[in-house]
Amino acid sequence: MTAPPRRTIGVVGGSGLSSLFPEGASATHRVSTPWGAPSAPIEEGTVGGMRVLFLARHGPGHTIPPHRVNYRANVDALRSLGAEAIVTVSSVGSLREELPPGAFVLPSQFLDWTKQRPTTFYDGGRVFHVSLADPFCPDLLRRAAEAGRDAGTPFAEGRTYLCVEGPRFSTRAESALFRTWADVIGMTLVPEVTLARERALCYACLAMVTDFDVWAERPVEAREIVETMHRNLGRMRAVLDRLLPTLAAPPTCSCSKALDDAGI
């Protein structure tokens, strides 16, 4: 049986992407959840005829550090407003010479190096153990890769994202170790990706490389990261403009069934 088409997509903007609708949102939602308030009011608009909900992960003016983002409230709020998939835009550091600043990456796996974040909606009562063998939606990954090629900004696919606690950057010793594990490093993927799976949502991360991590023998500077983000936001917006309308097609994945066999 063919799945119904998607009607609403949530977009979570990370560092640099603080808005999505050039002509302004058609509505703004202030949502309360059992886990508190999301990072910011959620803006609603359309992109290519698709209903889109936009949330600034770090709040208005980028005031919330990655380890203090209320990820549970963010994901739950988007789902409560009808989101059936979440596409995120995130800045990352590169652990590979072939992924220089300005490269776009589509992670297909992650490693969790965070230390103190709530990682589940299910803290007691009913217990779910969701599968994260393949943590990202294959349907979204395929469509994002196509959108990147169409926009002239192809993604590096099949990469591993290492998520660290932050907000500090790596030591040289850590960076050397991380290079043996992963391709890019960031601070916001986890638990966002795991919570999306617990809400049976499709999820993909569109990562933009802003720097080489300190393994490259040059300390990371926040100013350079911001400058790189701003230089490449136009390219990322062009990808989103192509990607989001295509998500109206019926999904070919099984993300919506993530909880069917996960309950105890």
Long-range contacts of 223-232 (CB under 8 A, 24+ apart): 225/15, 225/91, 226/15, 226/16, 228/101, 228/102, 229/15, 229/16, 229/91, 230/16, 231/102, 232/102, 232/208
Active site annotation includes 211:
yes
Q: What average pLDDT does the segment 105-113 reach?
A: 98
- The architecture of the domain spanning 8-252 is 3-Layer(aba) Sandwich (3.40)
- What pLDDT does residue 40 have? 96
Residue type, 226: V
pLDDT tens string 121-170? 998 888 889 999 999 999 999 999 999 999 999 999 999 999 999 999 99
Q: What average pLDDT does the segment 38-66 reach?
A: 95
Q: What is the dihedral of CA 245, 246, 247, 248, to 10 degrees?
A: 70
The larger pLDDT score, comparing residue 261 to residue 116, is at 116
Q: Name beta bridge partners: 112.
A: 163
- What pLDDT does residue 220 have? 66
pLDDT tens string 187-224? 999 999 999 999 999 999 999 999 888 887 666 667 77
Contact indicator for 37, 31 with CB cutoff of 8 Å: yes
Cis peptide before 101 (omega within 30 of 0): no
Token pair recorded at residue 13: 């903007």
Residue type, 179: R
- What pLDDT does residue 213 have? 85
Given the residues 213, 241, 260, 261, the one annotated as active site: 213
Question: How many alpha carbons fall within 13 Å on the CB side of residue 1?
Answer: 2
- Degrees, nearest 5: CA angle 75-90-249: 65
Cis peptide before 167 (omega within 30 of 0): yes
Active site annotation includes 260:
no
* Kind and range of the H or E run holding 142: helix 138-150
Token pair recorded at residue 77: 């709020």
Whole-prediction pTM value?
A: 0.94
Separation of alpha carbons 29 and 140, rounded Å: 25
HEC per residue, 197-229: HHCCCEEEEEEEEEEECHHHCCCCCHHHHHHHH
Judge whether residue 19 has pLDDT over 90: no
Given the residues 211, 241, 260, 261, the one annotated as active site: 211
User: Whose CA is closest to 33, among 132, 128, 118, 91?
Assistant: 118
- The residues near 209 (Cβ < 8 Å, ≥ 6 apart) are 91, 92, 93, 94, 99, 100, 101, 102, 103, 104, 105, 184, 228
